[in-house]
Amino acid sequence: MITVYGIKNCDTVKKSLRWFDAKGINHKFHDFRIDGIDAKTIEGWLAEVGGKTLINKRGPSYRNLSDGDKAVLENDDAAAAVILAANPTVIKRPVVDFGTTRTVAYDEGCWSELAEA
């Protein structure tokens, strides 16, 4: 089962969910705000895709973090996972879990390939 992670009021997440629906690809939605997310899952994402890909530095949630938290996000994946679990809106959206592979951000070309595999 494909899982789309994000927040329901994010325009990119809405666009992603519409794309999966339009293609008839079976998926479920995991809302960070309602369902939460644990640090262990995020640590795995960081190990797979890296902080530069996973962390959204453009949004207000990132700008509102303390300088200390921002420094941790740059230097320590285990500690960064704890900060991201407590502040999931700092995670770039959507994160799409295909079971063996994760993608970050809107990428219908990659999704098409992974959904067919």
Convert the pLDDT of each residue in 64-101 to its tens digit: 999 999 999 988 888 999 999 999 999 999 999 999 99
The string of pLDDT tens digits covering residues 25-76 is 999 999 999 999 999 999 999 999 999 999 999 999 999 999 999 999 988 8
C-beta of residue 56 within 8 angstroms of C-beta of residue 92: yes
Residue 24's pLDDT is what? 95
Is 110 annotated as catalytic? no
Sequence-distant (6+) residues with CB within 8 A of 3 are 27, 28, 29, 30, 96, 97
Spot the catalytic one: 1, 3, 8, 10. Answer: 10
Sequence-distant (6+) residues with CB within 8 A of 7 are 13, 31, 32, 33, 88, 89, 93
Checking if the pLDDT of 117 tops 80, the result is no
Residue 45's pLDDT is what? 97
